[in-house]
Structure 1
C-alpha cells in the first residue's frame, strides 16, 4: 500500500489510526481504529452523517471504546493492517 496515493485527510486518518493502535499496544490496525481516527480527525463529516441517520453518537463512541479495549494487546513486533 502506497500511502502517497491517498488524499491528505486519508493519510491523516491512517496515521492517527496507526498511532492509536500503537498506544493501545494492538498488533494490527483494525476497522475500529480507522473509525475512531476518522471521527476525531474531521468532526464535520462522520458525526454529521451519523446524526442525519439518527444514530446515537455517544452510544457508538461507547461501543467503539469497549471494542478497542477488548482487543488483545501485544508488546513488540510490527504493526500490521
Structure 2
C-alpha cells in the first residue's frame, strides 16, 4: 500500500507562484511586519500580498481623487 501526498497550495487559484517579488526591509520594519503577520495568523507571504493589494487600491483611489481635483480647478479657472 502506497501513500500519495498531495501538494497543498496556500495561494489563491491563479496566483503566479513562479515569479516571486522580493523586497528588503530595515530590521525594525521586518520585526513589525513579522509581529503583525503572527498576530493575524498569516504567513509572511500572505501578509505581504495583502499589503500590496491594499496599497494598490489606495494608490488607485489617490489617482481618482487627484483627477477630480484637477477637473474642479479647471472648471473654476474657466469661469
Instruction: Give the TM-score of the pair, scaled to structure 2.
Output: 0.31
Answer 1 or 2: higher relative contact order, Cα 8 Å, separation at least 6: 1
Q: Which has the larger radius of gyration?
A: 2
Q: TM-score, normalised by structure 1?
A: 0.30
